[in-house]
């Protein structure tokens, strides 16, 4: 990111002010070596000055006070400001024609326009505050409301005065990017509508239940202390009315689904619920009209309320899973620059591309489709698609695949396939299908629920006829209603969703986002767990793992590499940043060193080394490294071949170090100044610190572990040896797997329905496998967008969380079973009492909620996510 | 004539008005996003800079 800042600075050809280390930028909070003074504050780049000036000018300085320092964490990788700037220009251009971008604009009666756009770069409260506070300062914008949960903004504006692209361009300097929101509009409207229906039903049911209960209490109290007969009748009628309303309005869904279940001849929990509700209504009306027996309108209403809450909880978790699938495909909605035959350039959505179009792909941009390079040479980062850790070099005539990222220089690509016909499009198809055809694991709740329902129905019929024979229709109805009331399956219906919802909430506190509650049930039994390598077992991005050399060498390496957009350069810059706390020390030693070196090199007598890097001398040698002239020093950074080609002598000691680096599977990067070796970086991927321990613990719990990687076989087997050194045995290791082959392997292992297959991955190349597996666990890595689609998303970026997740799912299932066991025992006792006529419907109505409450208590007490011991 | 016949329907009516308001709120979409309003209330209108 620092590198990018400097890039933007250089781009605008502004002089680089004097260098001084470890100064925090007052806007972005990053450490920077260059300072720009503005109104008594220091900034790292002109971009930040601009952002500050804008915020200051609008009188929004509170932003800085409100913003938490912690949230200014850096995101390594491709998301540099440099790339964002380019992306933002494309987005602004695209917003000029909303219809072409496929965004629906609603027009209000007053002639205003309403549109919902996606916002990138939202982090915390301060962000929504800033955007919403900007609204009065934006001409023509009537309202701007940020919605944090789906990262979108609702804009109301006057089309005569402004347009979305103008609004977007005002937000860009602040770091927020407005993008067309590609939600499936009708689907999201349906789900919103359903959500409203659920909430309204709960509200009505709660109102009716609460009032019915008060009337019930009044009646019980009246029975104990005596009450006018006319009052009793009045209260009964009102109560019955409330109970009937509860069954008719919020409760009608149960009748409907019971009817459907009967039509399809399946046992469903809703059948006894519907029968109990129906009998309750009839019994209450009959009892009230005849003025005899007890009535159950209060339990009727509260039953409806509890059941509706259970249904809502279920709906929420299912809905969340559905939304995430839609989100997965948003990343394919990228924008691209098409070059027409006459040479004009046009920014369009990738979905509008056709075969044979020529597109321009800048460094940092994602290829919009499959194609052939027609101009330029560059390196591609294909790790997203294949998991390959090394960059792939491409030149004219090479085939490229959509979804990979161009990292080095601009290229032009003739598109051969895009959309559904491209390789990515076909992968999408796999993912969509996988969601629909997942092998269902047998759900405990369903099995128990079904048996319960069937046996209760048989018992109820037996009970009714039995009592009809013994005591006539009145007592038959009374006892059967008592049986159905007390045997209410609400404990069974509620237990599983309740326990799982609580577990999901606790998991979220641990930064594990679970979308599909069923996953928790699936993870409880040990099975087979596949791991992706790049980014999952390993860190996934290049890092300097070792540095050996002089402070001077490091200083110049940072200076030169900060100007280059290359993964190794970025790794070196990051390494420099991570040592910024030692920078003062480094500076001192450089000064001392500089003093010493002065004699030899004729270096000027300045105390601190200044930045006098002449960009014209900066020269990238393709595939070898970079050469530059800084402070009249010839600086070389790159491979051994670069150094040799410039006649730099490498002694035996250095060569030995290089071979150590190579044998550890890392890439060596040399720095030489004025023909002398000044240091050696080891750049490479490294294992996640908790990888070995996590795998070990999982194996101890009986899980089989395998690796499915898209990286080359040699690299995969290197890491396998590395991990197996600590006494771990892999059950299966596959390298060189394409995304399609990964899906195939996962499908093969999914054959056994009693053995869950888990896939842990981090990239787009894993997305299909994540969807196909019984449980897909995405771990936060470099390509965050795709991960949100997985049923489980580990945001803590720690593998260790997977082990905790497994543990938690075991205890969750245990709690569910406990709830079942208790309510079954409870039901067996009370049902037998009811059948023999020992339980009065009144007592049944009192006891019914108790079983529900026991389940609730157990669910909350269940320790599904024990507090983590902070290490 | 007991007061119960007046007060009980009256109480239910008052409750129903509240219920109606609640249903209106849900239908208008106030409960769609429970995240941002919780953050929005933290935004002070007054100056909160410490200096």
- Specify the CATH number for A512-539+687-795; select among 3.40.50.11810, 3.40.50.720, 3.20.20.100, 3.40.50.1000: 3.40.50.1000
pLDDT band, residue B21 (cuts 50/70/90): very high
Whether residue B23 lies within 8 A of chain A, CB to CB, comes out as yes
- Predicted pLDDT of residue A586: 46
d(CA A251, CA A668): 70
d(CA A677, CA A670): 7
User: In A237-353, at which residue ranges do the beta strands (DSSP E only) sit?
Assistant: 335-339, 345-349
pTM of the model: 0.57
Closest Cα in chain A, distance from residue B8 (Å): 9
Structure tokens at A688: 């996640």
Whether residue A125 lies within 8 A of chain B, CB to CB, comes out as yes
How distant, in Å, are the alpha carbons of A439, A744, A801 from that of A770? 14, 12, 17
Successive 10-residue mean pLDDT values, chain A, 871 residues: 39 39 66 69 74 75 57 36 56 67 73 80 67 76 75 82 81 74 61 86 93 85 81 88 89 84 71 75 77 67 78 66 50 69 77 80 78 85 63 82 77 82 69 51 56 75 84 75 67 68 74 74 85 81 81 83 74 77 46 39 36 66 78 84 84 86 79 88 83 88 87 81 84 83 83 80 75 81 54 78 87 82 81 78 66 73 57 36
The CATH number of the domain covering residues in A333-436: 2.70.150.10
All residues of chain B having their beta carbon less than 8 Å from the beta carbon of residue A61 are 49
A177-214 per-position pLDDT tens digit:
777 765 555 566 777 888 889 999 999 999 998 998 88
Alpha-helical (H) ranges within A387-439 are 423-436
- Predicted pLDDT of residue A432: 59
d(CA A532, CA A765): 10
Q: Which residues pair with A290 in a beta bridge?
A: none
Closest Cα in chain B, distance from residue A226 (Å): 16
Are A209 and A249 within 8 A, CB to CB?
A: no
Q: Does domain A543-684 have CATH number 3.40.1110.10?
A: yes
User: What is the β-pairing status of strands A113-120 and A370-375?
Assistant: unpaired
CB contact under 8 A, B27 and A128: no
Closest Cα in chain B, distance from residue A312 (Å): 14
Distant-in-sequence, close-in-space partners of A763: CB < 8 Å, separation ≥ 6: A383, A384, A385, A387, A532, A534, A535, A540, A781, A782, A783, A786
Length of chain A: 871
- Determine which of B11, B12, B51 to mutate to test the interface with A (most A C-beta atoms within 10 Å): B12
3-state secondary structure of A491: helix
- DSSP symbols for A570-606: HHHHHHHHHTGGGHHHHHHHHHHHHHHHHHHHT--S-
- Predicted pLDDT of residue A15: 37
Half-sphere exposure of A643 (CA within 13 A, CB side): 23
d(CA A826, CA A839): 14
Task: Return the domain boundaries, chain A.
Answer: 2-57, 90-181, 333-436, 512-539+687-795, 543-684
Closest Cα in chain B, distance from residue A736 (Å): 43
3-state secondary structure of A265: coil
Q: Count residue pairs from A and B with Cβ separation < 8 A.
A: 74
Whether residue B15 lies within 8 A of chain A, CB to CB, comes out as yes
Fold for the domain defined by A90-181: Alpha-Beta Plaits (3.30.70)
All residues of chain A having their beta carbon less than 8 Å from the beta carbon of residue B40 are 128-129, 132
CB contact under 8 A, A132 and B43: yes
Are A148 and A204 within 8 A, CB to CB?
A: no
d(CA A618, CA A560): 8
CB contact under 8 A, A66 and B50: no
Whether residue A66 lies within 8 A of chain B, CB to CB, comes out as yes
CB contact under 8 A, A65 and B15: no
Reference A17, options A46, A39, A40; nearest CA is A46
d(CA A291, CA A855): 35
All residues of chain A having their beta carbon less than 8 Å from the beta carbon of residue B22 are 203
pLDDT band, residue B23 (cuts 50/70/90): very high
3-state secondary structure of A280: helix
Report CA A287 to chain centroid distance, whole Å: 55
Whether residue A207 lies within 8 A of chain B, CB to CB, comes out as yes
d(CA A483, CA A569): 75
- Predicted pLDDT of residue A205: 93
Closest Cα in chain A, distance from residue B5 (Å): 8
How many C-beta neighbours within 10 Å does residue A791 have?
27
How many C-beta neighbours within 10 Å does residue A314 have?
17
CB contact under 8 A, B19 and A203: yes
């Amino acid at each position: 990111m620092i590198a990018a800042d400097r890039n933007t600075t250089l781009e605008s050809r502004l002089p680089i002010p004097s260098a001084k280390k470890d100064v925090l930028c007052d806007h972005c909070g990053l450490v920077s070596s260059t300072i720009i003074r503005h109104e008594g504050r220091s900034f790292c780049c002109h971009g930040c000055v601009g952002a500050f000036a804008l915020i200051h000018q609008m009188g929004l300085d509170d932003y800085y006070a409100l913003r938490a320092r912690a949230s200014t964490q850096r995101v390594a990788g491709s998301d540099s400001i440099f790339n964002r700037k380019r992306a933002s220009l494309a987005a602004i251009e695209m917003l000029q024609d909303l219809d072409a971008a496929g965004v629906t604009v609603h027009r209000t009666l007053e002639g205003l326009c309403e549109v919902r756009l996606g916002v990138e770069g939202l982090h915390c409260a301060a962000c929504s505050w800033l955007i919403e506070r900007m609204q009065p300062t934006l001409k023509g914008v009537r309202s701007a409301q940020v919605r944090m949960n789906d990262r979108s903004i609702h804009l109301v504006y006057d089309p005569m005065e402004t347009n979305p692209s103008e609004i977007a361009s005002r937000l860009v300097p602040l770091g927020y990017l407005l993008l067309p929101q590609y939600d499936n509009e009708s689907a999201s409207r349906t789900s919103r509508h359903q959500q409203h229906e659920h909430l309204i039903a709960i509200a009505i049911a709660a109102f009716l239940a609460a009032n019915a209960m008060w009337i019930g209490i009044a009646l019980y109290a009246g029975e104990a202390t005596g009450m006018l007969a006319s009052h009793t009748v009045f209260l009964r009628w009102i109560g019955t009315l409330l109970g009937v309303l509860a069954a008719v309005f919020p409760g009608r869904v149960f009748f409907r689904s019971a009817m459907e279940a009967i039509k399809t001849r399946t046992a469903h929990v809703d059948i006894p619920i519907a029968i109990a509700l129906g009998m309750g209504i009839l019994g209450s009306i009959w009892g009230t009209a005849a003025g005899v027996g007890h009535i159950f309108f209060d339990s009727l209403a509260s039953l409806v309320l509890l059941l509706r809450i259970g249904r809502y909880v279920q709906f929420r978790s299912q809905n969340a899973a559905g939304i995430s699938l839609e989100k997965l495909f948003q990343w394919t909605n990228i924008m691209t620059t098409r070059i027409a035959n006459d040479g004009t350039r046009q920014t369009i959505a990738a979905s509008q591309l056709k075969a044979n179009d020529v597109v321009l792909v800048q460094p940092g941009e994602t290829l919009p489709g499959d194609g052939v390079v027609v101009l330029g040479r560059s390196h591609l980062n294909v790790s997203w698609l294949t998991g390959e850790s090394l960059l792939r070099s491409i030149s004219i005539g090479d085939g490229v695949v959509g979804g990979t990222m161009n990292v080095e220089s601009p290229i032009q690509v003739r598109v051969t396939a895009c959309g559904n016909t491209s390789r990515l499009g076909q992968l999408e198809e796999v993912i969509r299908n996988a969601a629909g055809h997942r092998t269902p694991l047998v759900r405990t709740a369903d099995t128990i629920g079904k048996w319960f329902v069937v046996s209760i129905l048989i018992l109820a019929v037996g009970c009714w006829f039995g009592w009809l024979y013994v005591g006539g229709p009145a007592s038959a109805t009374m006892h059967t209603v008592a049986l159905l009331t007390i045997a209410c399956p609400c404990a069974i219906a509620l237990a599983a969703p309740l326990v799982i919802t609580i577990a999901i909430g606790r998991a979220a506190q641990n930064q594990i986002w679970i979308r599909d509650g069923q996953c928790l049930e699936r993870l409880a039994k040990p099975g087979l767990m596949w791991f992706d390598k790049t980014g999952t077992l390993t860190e996934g991005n290049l890092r300097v793992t070792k540095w050996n050399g002089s402070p001077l060498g490091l200083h110049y390496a940072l200076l030169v590499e900060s100007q280059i957009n290359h993964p190794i350069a970025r790794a070196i810059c990051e390494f420099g940043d991570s040592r910024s706390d030692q920078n003062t020390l480094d500076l001192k030693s450089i000064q001392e060193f500089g003093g010493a070196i002065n004699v030899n090199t004729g270096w000027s007598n300045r105390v601190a080394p200044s930045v006098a890097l002449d960009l014209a001398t900066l020269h990238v040698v393709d595939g070898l490294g970079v050469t530059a002239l800084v402070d009249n020093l010839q600086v070389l950074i790159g491979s051994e071949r670069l150094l040799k080609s410039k006649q730099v002598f490498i002694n035996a000691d250095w060569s030995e170090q290089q071979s150590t680096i190579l044998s550890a599977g890392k890439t060596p990067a040399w720095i030489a100044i004025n023909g002398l070796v000044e240091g050696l970086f080891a750049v490479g991927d490294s294992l996640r610190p908790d990888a070995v321990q996590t795998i070990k613990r999982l194996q101890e719990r009986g899980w089989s572990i395998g690796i499915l990687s898209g990286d080359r076989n040699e690299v995969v087997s290197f890491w396998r040896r590395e991990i197996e050194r600590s006494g771990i045995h892999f059950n299966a290791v596959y390298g060189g797997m394409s995304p399609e082959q990964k899906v195939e392997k996962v499908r093969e292992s999914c054959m056994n329905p009693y053995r869950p297959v888990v896939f842990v991955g981090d990239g787009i190349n894993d997305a299909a496998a994540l969807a196909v597996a019984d449980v897909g666990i995405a771990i936060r890595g470099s390509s965050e967008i795709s991960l949100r689609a997985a049923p489980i998303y580990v945001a803590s970026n720690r593998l260790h969380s997977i082990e905790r997740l497994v543990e938690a799912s075991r205890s969750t299932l245990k709690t569910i079973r406990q709830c079942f066991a208790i309510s079954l025992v409870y039901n067996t006792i009370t049902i037998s009492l009811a059948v023999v006529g020992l339980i009065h419907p009144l007592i049944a109505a009192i006891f019914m909620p108790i079983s529900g409450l026991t389940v609730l208590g157990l669910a909350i007490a269940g320790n599904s996510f024990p507090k983590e011991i902070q290490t | 004539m007991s007061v119960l016949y007046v007060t009980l329907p009256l109480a239910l009516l008052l409750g129903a008005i509240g219920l109606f308001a609640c249903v209106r709120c849900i239908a208008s979409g106030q409960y769609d996003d429970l995240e941002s309003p919780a953050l929005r209330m933290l935004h002070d209108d007054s100056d909160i800079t410490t200096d």
